Structure 1
Amino acid sequence: MDLVNPIVEIFSRLWDCIARHTSYIRKLQENLNSLREVMDGLKHQMNDVKANLDLAEVQQMRPKEEVLFWIQTVETMEGQVNEIIEESNQQISNRCLSGCWSYYKVGKRVARKLTVAKGLRSTGNFSDVADILPPPDVEVMPSRPTVGMDLIFENVWRCLREEDQVRVMGLYGMGGVGKTTLLRKINNEFLHQGFPDSSVVLWITVSKETNMRRVQKDIGDRLGLSLPEDASSNLRASRIFSALSKKKFVLLLDDIWDRVDFESVGIPFPNSENKSKVIFTTRSEALCGRMEAHKKIKVECLGWDEAWELFQKMVGDEVFNSHPEIPKLAELVAKECAGLPLALITIGRTMASKKTTHEWNRAIIVLRKSASEFSGMGDEVLPLLKFSYDNLPNDTIQSCFLYCSLYPEDFDINKEELIEHWVGEGFITEFDDMNQARYQGHDIIETLKLACMLERGNNTDSEVKMHDVIRDLALWIACECGRKKDMFFVQAGVGLNKAPEIKKWEETERISLMKNDIRTLTETPTCHNLITLFLSKNLKLVRISDGFFKSMTSLRVLDLSLTRIREFPMEIVKLGELQYLNLSETPIKTLPEEVKKLVKLEFLNLRRTDSLSTIPLRVISRLPRLQVLNLYDDGWEKDWGGASIEELECLKYLKVLGIIIRTVLDLRRCYNSHKLSRCTNSLCITKCQGLTSFPLSLLSSPSLSSTPTLQNMKFLNELSFHSCFDLEELTISCIVAGEGENGFFASLEKLTLFNLPNLKMVRAVPHYPCFQKLSFLHIGSCDALKDLTCLRAAQSLRTLYLDQCGGIEEVICGGVVTVEEEFITFSRLKTLWFVYLPNLKSIHRHALPFPCLEEIKIIECPELKKLPLDSNSAKRVLKVIKGQKKWWDELEWEDESIKSVFLPYLNK
């Protein structure tokens, strides 16, 4: 029995082995069919895994190594199985010929591959085929090629790489100017050039509606952080701070509208230790300051060459070659975009299919008359720009912005005139004197400039401009985004020689026909809703017929300045709602007594009405609401009548006064009147027989108690002495009167001294800061005057005109001058005109920096042989030197190299 069991076990094992091996032969066909089925399933399974990998790749995930190995194994298996199946089919068909051994070997291989295939099927059920990738150092941003931005890009890139002290940089400019395009170029440049030791470049679009939590989420996503939605802002900030503190980062914030508080978001403030950088784009220059930017760079509109290049690219050669006149017409269309890339691109796309001159001519007409109706402007360009308008601080500033669109396209708007209109319209109301109104007006102008809604004019000190597309925006908004097209009717500066069709006036609230060539206004328009009417600067307008003002029952603002109207249109006195009337610089002869019917009139401007000979008595005093009255005139030859000092004192609400005074008695009366002296804004003193000296001092000497001093006129902005033949001496001082008070002349900006033949001396009291705000000085026909050394005190002087002063030999006399005095003297001067000064030998004995000097004009000054210039004077600011060539050739220089520096500017 003990022997039988082992024999049985051996026999059993031998039989199992024989059975297993014989099964390779018996089950070859069955196993082959199973292998085909399993392999087909395995291929479908592999295709599903590959599809999941493709999806993960789109999601920027990284395939798992085990998944890639499994796919590789299946693909290898597929080739091997195909070979085995082909060999097996041959063995089955040739079974009698091949013998049992070959049949056996094939069957064994099929069985084994079937086992492996089944194993692959079971291991290929992956729950995840890929892992989330760590954030890349830079994520590429889609971007169009930049045009005309190479210099500004190089400037930004240099600051990024080379200027360690520049850690936060602001790129600001108007909407659509290309700030985002530039920032994308900067982002993508990191892919090509990298950044020393930089760990990560983060692009975050902030935009107007984004809040802090959204910014945190975007930063967290970019860093691969888990920031739960229900987590507090502080916890989210802590996690972001912890992640960024370990990295050197470059943070690109696009389109910010409000200050981003780095600490609240969790962003470590860039400094010399972490060596990180932040660059942001905004439409507000003011926001650059609130963001603590170490450097701010304005992104300007394109110059003409770059704008034309961009426009040509958008339109395409096919259109330009379709008709020989189209290129010239296309230039006119492109110029309407005024260099704004967004407008160039949008309008260029629209015109890319226009191949006839009719279509191009139509485009020019639409863009000039109503740009909002042009395809793409009203639904793409203007709505984007409107965000800037919506973000202005308040309704008053928004109204002031819209008002600027009443001026002509590409027009230099005088700041003072603009503020005057704002006052007349009632936008600026809370003021006790004109200085307060001016301060508020200038603050509004600066707010609009900082928001890139206004630009600097040609004269940066006194003028502003509105970009053409921004002006289109203002008109579009004023007409309720195009829904009421007639709210503003503006045909300013378009060369009209007659008034537009009066049917267009019927529903209009504001009309501007200023700066045209209209000669007469003879029709009777129906416009009961009209509030504002600008007819100013129509230099040929001589007649307004009866009936023209008849239906303007709501009119509040009427500007007829700089027209040629001689007769006062009597219908004006029936305009019961009129609050603002401007007749300045017109040849009007009389002001009718009926003007007293304008009981709501608050603003009356009769400045420089040279032909106005008289104002009837008790007319001005019958205007009970009058706040601003300008009677200023430097036309000394006419005899002024009416509007006595006593009458002016009756004006209860008078805040601002411009006046001309012809006698010492009236001068004393004006000085002694607290009301008039306080509200006098502009003053012309002419003739004043017997006035030999004029001490303008806040501390009157007892010996001069009978002499007018103007010490109460501390809000005086403009002062003129004209044809005072007895005046010999003018003394200027500025002393602080008491705690919290400004000294006299603290507000004076314009001073004119003309035709004062006996004026020998203009002197400033030493050691006092005189003329702190004086920006304009004109001295003419003052032959007894020898020098103007007092100008050392005029630190804010921007314009200096000297003409026909035969006695002047030196402008500023010599003597001991400190380095500080030399630096201050003429430090803000922009325009210097010397004309017909036959004895002038010296302007200043030493070279001066002239850091702001743009224009020099020297005419008929034969004795002036040397200019106070060296190679560092007026560096990078000078534009032109006007003078006779003979005079220039005879000038003496320290060396010829200095002459060569300034020669290119001569009569440029």
Structure 2
Amino acid sequence: MDFVGSFVNLIDSNLIAPFVQQIKHFTRSSDNVNEMGLVVGDLKATKNDKEHRLNAAKNAGQVETEVASNWFKAVREIEMKADDIEKEYHQRKCAGGWCVNCWSLYRLSKRSVNLKQQADRYKLNENFDVARPASPKSVKEIPTEPIMENQPSTERMLKQMLDCICDPDPRLGIIGLYGMGGVGKSTLAGKVNNHFKDSSCFEAVIMVTVSATPNIQTIHTSIGKRLGLDLSKDSEDDAREKLFDALGKRKFLLILDDVWSKLELKVAGIPHPRNSKGSKILVISRNQDTCSVMGAKETIRVQPLSEAESWNLFVDKAGEHVASGDIKRFARKIVERCKGLPLAVVIVAQAMVNRHGVGSWEDALREMERSAAELQGMKEEVFVPLKFSFDRLENDMLRSLFLYCACFPEDYNIDIAGDDMLNYCVGEGLLDKLGSLKAARNKGEYLIESLKIGCMLEDGEYEGSVKMHDMMRELAIWITSSSSLESGSSPKFLIKTGKSFKEAPQSHEWVDATRISLIDTQIEELPELGERCPKLTTYLFRQNDILTIFPQTNFLEHMDHLSVLDLSY
């Protein structure tokens, strides 16, 4: 009996049950197709929900996971197959509801059962993440202002920088880029960053703004984010260690922008380039010394634009109408006064872009000749940022010397070894403090060199001389003018230099001045001073050969604190 029972079971499981199942494919074809449609419909709804979540994640900067990509692809194929089955099923049914070809009906039913089972499996496997944080790109493109496009001098500087960066010499691991404020250093740095977008030279190119008061945590976070590290919950020590380890495994280019003082690389979690697979660090600063103390063996100064480049930039920003007609001659003179400083050129162009009357341009030139700060946007966009360089000078003596240099006429070559510097040394009491003329001159020379290194002064036209960039001179005049003084804390200068000045300042203007410069003017008459000038320490009135009326009553006696008086011709 056991043998018979086993034989019957064998016949049932291997012959009868499969046969019955095949019969069901035929008899339940309509139910099978409908059940498949319901399951695939649920799966499609799940897919739609997941796609909405994926799109939201993509908008937040995340990317699709590989698991999600494969799942979506498989589900779409299931949808297509289900559509084909349903379409074919309805096409093959005759008017009475029976299919003319029974074999075709059987096959469709079987396919629908198999597809339903496949859909069930993907419905069960729906618990996965559709998105993940994007892997950091080796280079994140930085938007740069198009203020230096197609400029030969810019291209030359960019090539010089790239040559140093790509030079395998380990001594060039740290490179310095410096120049006065507004000259385009950050724009150039952005171009360097973007240059490596399509290059495999570095595994990571990272640009970080350091600022005058560095925040180590912010620097850690900025670098870590570019490396795909979440350091938000780490202590400063842990963050530093993770960064040091991550950067040490890569060949990187790190661009440190807006550096004002030495940043300890170790504290910032940055390995020294000489120990890190040919990595490079580019230090951007307004001061050459800052680049050097950071370890830069090669420093590159960003020079102002040429006259032709300045004009092309100005026309591009202000519009073609400035390059024709009577406006052009005024526009040319306005651009000349910007002396190649891209920031100033752009700000002035923006101020004049909608000015089409010749009178407006003549008035703008007059304003710039009188005080560039009066022109729209110049104070907020040019002088305030430039003043930060002044404020960050090392000591009051450097600030005083910088302001003193503005007493000389525009484009004047200041003689370091001659009376120009001697007057300053005497006026500041250096002769008394240091005990000898030589020591005072040496101190003056040291201060001048410091201002040159900080891009506050530049070399003059002959050896032993320096001069001020016009925008730096305008900055100094603005700082010492009544319009910028705050609670009387800054010295007030009265500067009227050059042959365009034919009238002396009125007597009331002299009272609060600390320094007065009337060099190389066409003044014929000086005013009667009715009050003392208790703050006046320097009075420069030289290179004037047409003065005919000198005040009769106690003119110089009103200046009882005067240290420097220059009436030479």
Displacement of 1:208 in angstroms is 1.7
1:579 lines up with 2:555 in the alignment: no
Contact in 2 for aligned 1:498/1:518 (Cα 8 Å): yes
Tell me how far apart the structure 1 counterparts of residues 209 and 87 of structure 2 sit (CA, whole Å): 61
SS at match of 2:205: strand
1:498 lines up with 2:531 in the alignment: no
Q: Which residue pairs with 1:283 in the alignment? A: 286
Displacement of 1:411 in angstroms is 1.7
Letter in 1 for 2:178: Y
Displacement of 1:427 in angstroms is 6.3
Deviations 1:882-907 (A, max 9, x none): xxxxxxxxxxxxxxxxxxxxxxxxxx
Q: Which residue pairs with 2:78 in the alignment? A: 77
Contact in 1 for aligned 2:495/2:518 (Cα 8 Å): yes
Q: Which residue pairs with 2:452 in the alignment? A: 449
Displacement of 1:398 in angstroms is 1.7
Tell me how far apart the structure 1 counterparts of residues 396 and 97 of structure 2 sit (CA, whole Å): 103
Tell me how far apart the structure 1 counterparts of residues 264 and 150 of structure 2 sit (CA, whole Å): 31
Displacement of 1:468 in angstroms is 0.8
Tell me how far apart the structure 2 counterparts of residues 413 and 396 of structure 1 sit (CA, whole Å): 18
Q: Which residue pairs with 1:293 in the alignment? A: 296
Specify whether residues 31 and 459 from structure 1 end up closer, same or farther in structure 2 by C-alpha distance, changes over 3 A only.
Answer: same
Displacement of 1:232 in angstroms is 4.2
Structure 1 stretch 307-316 or stretch 474-483: which is displaced more? 474-483
Higher relative contact order, structure no. (Cα contacts within 8 Å, ≥ 6 residues apart): 2
1:120 lines up with 2:104 in the alignment: no
1:252 lines up with 2:258 in the alignment: no
SS at match of 2:503: coil
Letter in 1 for 2:183: V
Tell me how far apart the structure 1 counterparts of residues 241 and 39 of structure 2 sit (CA, whole Å): 58
Q: Which residue pairs with 1:361 in the alignment? A: 362
Q: Which residue pairs with 1:402 in the alignment? A: 403
Displacement of 1:37 in angstroms is 3.9
Question: Which aligned pairs between 1:715-754 and structure 2 lie closer than 5 A?
Answer: none
Q: Which residue pairs with 1:474 in the alignment? A: 476
TM-score, with normalisation over the residues of structure 1?
0.55
Question: Which aligned pairs between 1:93-242 and structure 2 lie closer than 5 A?
Answer: 94-96=95-97, 98-99=99-100, 101=102, 105-130=107-132, 132-133=134-135, 135-143=136-144, 144=146, 145=149, 147=151, 148-162=153-167, 164=169, 165-192=171-198, 194-195=200-201, 198-225=202-229, 227=231, 229-233=233-237, 235-242=238-245
Specify whether residues 229 and 104 from structure 1 end up closer, same or farther in structure 2 by C-alpha distance, changes over 3 A only.
Answer: closer
Displacement of 1:519 in angstroms is 1.1
Specify whether residues 583 and 225 from structure 1 end up closer, same or farther in structure 2 by C-alpha distance, changes over 3 A only.
Answer: closer
Structure 1 stretch 100-109 or stretch 282-291: which is displaced more? 100-109
Letter in 2 for 1:476: W
Letter in 2 for 1:207: S
Letter in 1 for 2:211: S
Tell me how far apart the structure 1 counterparts of residues 22 and 277 of structure 2 sit (CA, whole Å): 77
Tell me how far apart the structure 2 counterparts of residues 146 and 430 of structure 1 sit (CA, whole Å): 52
Specify whether residues 23 and 155 from structure 1 end up closer, same or farther in structure 2 by C-alpha distance, changes over 3 A only.
Answer: same
Question: Which aligned pairs between 1:407-418 and structure 2 lie closer than 5 A?
Answer: 407-415=408-416, 416-418=418-420
Letter in 2 for 1:543: I
Tell me how far apart the structure 2 counterparts of residues 338 and 449 of structure 1 sit (CA, whole Å): 17
Displacement of 1:34 in angstroms is 2.2
Letter in 1 for 2:192: I
Deviations 1:84-137 (A, max 9, x none): 33334445673445358355654554454444334333423422534642x444
Question: Which aligned pairs between 1:216-615 and structure 2 lie closer than 5 A?
Answer: 216-225=220-229, 227=231, 229-233=233-237, 235-271=238-274, 274-317=277-320, 319-320=321-322, 324-415=325-416, 416-426=418-428, 428=430, 430-461=433-464, 463-479=465-481, 482=484, 487-500=492-505, 510-522=515-527, 531=536, 532-546=538-552, 570-575=554-559, 577-582=560-565, 585=568
Greater strand proportion: 1
Superposed CA RMSD in Å reads 3.7
Displacement of 1:157 in angstroms is 2.9
Letter in 1 for 2:413: D
Contact in 1 for aligned 2:183/2:304 (Cα 8 Å): yes
Tell me how far apart the structure 2 counterparts of residues 192 and 17 of structure 1 sit (CA, whole Å): 61
Letter in 2 for 1:578: H
Letter in 1 for 2:283: F
Tell me how far apart the structure 2 counterparts of residues 525 and 339 of structure 1 sit (CA, whole Å): 44
Tell me how far apart the structure 2 counterparts of residues 338 and 542 of structure 1 sit (CA, whole Å): 36
Contact in 2 for aligned 1:45/1:124 (Cα 8 Å): no
Deviations 1:636-663 (A, max 9, x none): xxxxxxxxxxxxxxxxxxxxxxxxxxxx
Tell me how far apart the structure 2 counterparts of residues 82 and 417 of structure 1 sit (CA, whole Å): 96
Tell me how far apart the structure 1 counterparts of residues 381 and 348 of structure 2 sit (CA, whole Å): 10
Deviations 1:694-725 (A, max 9, x none): xxxxxxxxxxxxxxxxxxxxxxxxxxxxxxxx
Tell me how far apart the structure 1 counterparts of residues 271 and 121 of structure 2 sit (CA, whole Å): 53
Deviations 1:754-789 (A, max 9, x none): xxxxxxxxxxxxxxxxxxxxxxxxxxxxxxxxxxxx
SS at match of 1:262: coil
Contact in 1 for aligned 2:67/2:130 (Cα 8 Å): no
Contact in 1 for aligned 2:93/2:100 (Cα 8 Å): no
Specify whether residues 114 and 362 from structure 1 end up closer, same or farther in structure 2 by C-alpha distance, changes over 3 A only.
Answer: farther
SS at match of 1:139: coil
Contact in 2 for aligned 1:497/1:518 (Cα 8 Å): yes
Contact in 2 for aligned 1:74/1:120 (Cα 8 Å): yes
Deviations 1:797-816 (A, max 9, x none): xxxxxxxxxxxxxxxxxxxx
SS at match of 1:265: coil
SS at match of 1:520: coil
**Unaligned segments of structure 1, at least 5 residues:** 548-569, 587-908
Larger radius of gyration: 1
Displacement of 1:338 in angstroms is 0.5
Structure 1 stretch 332-341 or stretch 1-10: which is displaced more? 1-10
Tell me how far apart the structure 2 counterparts of residues 487 and 579 of structure 1 sit (CA, whole Å): 15
Displacement of 1:510 in angstroms is 4.3
Tell me how far apart the structure 2 counterparts of residues 52 and 124 of structure 1 sit (CA, whole Å): 18
Displacement of 1:22 in angstroms is 6.7
Letter in 2 for 1:309: N
Specify whether residues 203 and 457 from structure 1 end up closer, same or farther in structure 2 by C-alpha distance, changes over 3 A only.
Answer: same
Displacement of 1:50 in angstroms is 4.2
Displacement of 1:332 in angstroms is 0.9
SS at match of 1:27: helix
Displacement of 1:174 in angstroms is 0.7
Specify whether residues 153 and 584 from structure 1 end up closer, same or farther in structure 2 by C-alpha distance, changes over 3 A only.
Answer: same
Specify whether residues 192 and 26 from structure 1 end up closer, same or farther in structure 2 by C-alpha distance, changes over 3 A only.
Answer: closer
Specify whether residues 99 and 150 from structure 1 end up closer, same or farther in structure 2 by C-alpha distance, changes over 3 A only.
Answer: closer
Tell me how far apart the structure 1 counterparts of residues 349 and 532 of structure 2 sit (CA, whole Å): 38
Structure 1 stretch 406-415 or stretch 2-11: which is displaced more? 2-11
Tell me how far apart the structure 2 counterparts of residues 138 and 583 of structure 1 sit (CA, whole Å): 59
SS at match of 1:278: strand
Displacement of 1:508 in angstroms is 5.1
Greater helix proportion: 2
Contact in 2 for aligned 1:35/1:110 (Cα 8 Å): no
Specify whether residues 206 and 273 from structure 1 end up closer, same or farther in structure 2 by C-alpha distance, changes over 3 A only.
Answer: closer
Displacement of 1:163 in angstroms is 6.7
Tell me how far apart the structure 1 counterparts of residues 141 and 18 of structure 2 sit (CA, whole Å): 70
State, as a whole percentage, how many aligned pairs show the same letter.
28
SS at match of 2:143: coil
Contact in 1 for aligned 2:250/2:276 (Cα 8 Å): no
